Amino acid sequence: MPTVRVAACQIDPSLGEVDRNLDLISRFLTDAQRGGAALAVVPEAAVTGYGYASLDEAMPAARRASAVAADRLAEVAASLGIAVICGTLEADGEEIFNVALALAPDGRRFRYRKIHLPYLGIDRFATPGPDAPAVIELAGMRVGILICYDLRFPEAARVCALDGADLIALPTNWPVGVDFHPDLFAPARAAENHCYLLAADRVGSEGGTDFMGRSVFVDFNGSRLAVASDTQEQIIYGDVDVEAARATHVRKRVGEHEWDTIADRRPGLYERLLQPAVDRQHPVGDTLYSGDVE
């Protein structure tokens, strides 16, 4: 099976300017397709911007994006023959979800709602997604989708791997100062799950937050094969070897040094993962979910 070329479109969207941002995204997707990409990933909240100070401030952009973004991106995907994964905000009644839209050139549409929300930007006011990440077929690959802060949670990436992901796509908005995301978490999630990882970050400033760029493409050994600028809009490319990603049984020396991070799991010993954490900021004996703490 030949390799599949993928691209991360590192852009600087404008807060609240949905139509302007869609024009910008379309231009970058066109360039990505000309560069040979069969799949392109665009940053978190690229359609709407991220740095909102309240739910009310974000709602007009979220409603506009909900009305036009999927159709516009689907048209671009179909016309270019490229699969697209793009971050946006989605209005649902009086709630907002941080969403990644996935559009296939054959007209199929998917979405993933971010499940882990940090206290930053619109995520302070958004509703967590209700569903676990899922793997979808795009560009001849099995692709899992996470968004930004989800990368800090190994369980989310492992769900993608257990469903057979060849690639984890990560639309993200990394603020300056979280170097460990592209430098540590991205390689770790790729290596521990024996899959590729493509993170598309943004650059620029918004709502008092500076974003670090440094979009990254990582292979299943945890090697960073392409890294973008810290400050400039640009596209990075990588090639996914699907057969190699699926060969999870690694044989360094046959019969002497082998491993399989999927087959070697001991899920019967992991029941503790389904229980509340001991809260380290409260009295001993308290067991709270983070959502229980005000």
- Helix, strand or coil, per DSSP, at residue 42: strand
> Residue 10 has which token pair?
């590192």
CATH topology of domain 4-260: Nitrilase/N-carbamoyl-D-aminoacid amidohydrolase (3.60.110)
Q: How far is CA 129 from CA 97, 241, 259, 285, in A?
A: 7, 31, 34, 29
CB atoms within 10 A of CB 293: 10
Q: Please check the confidence at residue 294 and state whether its pLDDT lies above 60.
A: no
- Quote the pLDDT of residue 280: 78
Q: What is the pLDDT of residue 1?
A: 64
Q: What is the pTM of this model?
A: 0.94
Average pLDDT, stretch 144-158?
Answer: 98
Q: Which of 44, 86, 160, 206 is catalytic?
A: 44
Domain ranges of the chain: 4-260
Give the chain's end-to-end CA distance (angstroms, integer). 51
Mean pLDDT of the 226-235 span:
98
Say which of 114, 160, 195, 206 is annotated catalytic. 114
Other CB atoms within a 10 A radius of the CB of residue 141 amount to 25
**Catalytic site residue 160?**
no
Are the beta carbons of 186 and 170 closer than 8 angstroms? yes
Mean pLDDT confidence for 60-81: 98
pLDDT in tens, 194-215: 999 999 999 999 989 999 999 9
pLDDT in tens, 86-113: 999 999 999 999 999 999 999 999 999 9
Name the H helices within the chain: 18-34, 55-80, 154-162, 180, 186-193, 242-246
- What gap in Å lies between CA 151 and CA 250, rounded to an integer? 24
Average per-residue pLDDT for the chain:
95
Q: How far apart are CA 60 and CA 198, in angstroms?
A: 30
Q: Residue 137 catalytic?
A: no
Q: Which candidate in 9, 86, 90, 148 is catalytic?
A: 148
